[in-house]
Chain A
Amino acid sequence: MRQKRRVRVMVAKPGLDGHDRGARIIARAYRDAGFEVVYTGLHQTPEEIVAAAIQEDVDMIGLSSLAGAHKYLFLAVVELLREKAADDIVVCGGGIIPDDDIEKLKESGVKEVFTPGTPLDDIVKWVQNNVTPRQD
């Protein structure tokens, strides 16, 4: 039977923070929305995340950061994707992120940033509206 394209996303925890409860809850919500979710686990470098995302041919990378290094880490992922000509992969992020930083992240290529308290449904809906499986 011919199958439809499925949305494939990666949920990744860059850097040194060791709290992945939020990331796991997001991964679960994505699963329940019918996405295939590649989970990489903790303590990933931006290089590891981008290499894995390319091998897995995902449509989106969701980054979670609770430890303050989001500006460096998120932007490194965006930059590396560009370098590898893989910037068709959408990057979004979530975590404890100050408003000022959100603006800067979005200007630099992070498509959306979710802060604590955002309902899971909103996050899932955003992905459904902004991430389409690769068409070519």
Chain B
Amino acid sequence: MNDIVEKIVAGDVRTVARLIRDIDDGMPEVREVLKDLYPHTGNAYVIGITGAPGVGKSTLVDQMVAHLRKRDKTVGVLAVDPTSPFSGGAILGDRVRMQRHSMDPGVFIRSLATRGHFGGLTQSTRSAIDVLDAMGKDYILVETVGVGQDEVDVVRSAHTTVIVVIPGMGDDIQAIKAGILEIGDIFLINKADREGCDKTMSDLRMMIEMDQKKYDRGAWKPPILKIQAVFDKGVAEFIDEIDKHARYLADTAGGLDFRASKTKVRQELGEMIKARLIEEVIDRLTESGDFDRAVESIIKGKIDPYTACENLVLPTLS
């Protein structure tokens, strides 16, 4: 077995940390490692936590880690924050809320920057989950960047997707829009002592109950819980709901191993092909100089970008 793989499976923190950096930085060597890691994955339970900026995702994750540790479970955390579109830099501040766990050998926390990736996660998140999975973490908590309405990538990688909202965000029409509210397996109303909590509760309940027919056929009905993460109120009950959802997945929805799920494998392979194709094509066109030449031609008005794109892409595919 590959030396790096051996160290990761043994839970070596430094090796894990470095590999995630290499994945993040797009080092081509990691592909071989990830291939060898794959047989060691599929054991972790992945929970996605998403919601708008400031709703309390990091604080919630911190409390979740505490509860899971009390149940003797090991935990990996991937926390995503945004990259500046101007400088390329980022302030990764999710850790501030979780630092009390940094010395716990049963917890591994990693901050990731979006680096221009849309969808709420990073390009590297899927592979980073695999690394923490292979490392032997029982639970992996993926905290998305603070999202708006349409950043739904997390649902592809998570067994349970948790939507965190706070009272007073938008009116009833927000609750029937497509996107983020459709992907929740569990809804949390955090900061539940604030005004408007009951209104938010009834809006969400109405939205969820519109799918009553689905639930009658046996589909999972997302529960809505009022919590106050910062005071640890309602978090234990929330973890119980995650357990229930896990049992639902295991018993009725095709099991917990995504590697055996046709839908998940289709999605993941599709995404992988997309990313790899773009990488290979852009690399080739940059190295040959064709990309820069096409840019020049467009600027000089010799060609339109649609034709240029066709001229560049089609030959690389044949």
Residues on A lying within 8 angstroms of B by beta carbon are 1-6, 8, 27-28, 30-41, 44, 47-48, 51-52, 54-57, 84-86, 133-134
- Residues of B with Cβ closer than 8 Å to A? 13-14, 17-18, 20-21, 24-26, 28, 83-84, 86-93, 95-97, 99, 102-103, 108-111, 113, 115, 278-279, 282-283
Docked Cα-Cα span, A18 to B83, in Å, equals 27
- Which residues does chain B contribute within 8 Å of A27, judged by CB atoms? 91
Q: Does the CB pair A4–B92 fall under 8 Å?
A: no
Known interface pairs A28-B91, A31-B91, A133-B25; 15 further A-B residue pairs with C-beta atoms within 8 A, sorted by A's residue number: A3-B115, A31-B84, A33-B89, A36-B90, A37-B91, A39-B93, A39-B95, A40-B95, A41-B93, A54-B17, A55-B102, A85-B14, A86-B14, A134-B18, A134-B21
Among B21, B28, B88, B102, contact of A8 (Cβ-Cβ < 8 Å): B21
Contacts of B102 in A (CB 8 A): 48, 51-52, 55
Q: How far is the CA of A61 from the CA of B169 in the complex (A)?
A: 38
List, in ascending order, chain B residues with CB within 8 A of A8's CB.
21
Given contacts A28-B91, A39-B96, A54-B14, whether A3 and B84 have CB atoms under 8 Å apart is: no
Check A51–B115 contact: CB distance below 8 A.
no
Cα distance A43–B102 in the bound complex, in angstroms:
13
Verify B91–A4 contact, CB threshold 8 A.
no
User: Can you list the 10 inter-chain pairs with the closest CB atoms, starting with the nearest?
Assistant: A41-B96, A31-B89, A3-B26, A57-B17, A57-B21, A34-B88, A34-B89, A51-B102, A38-B92, A52-B102
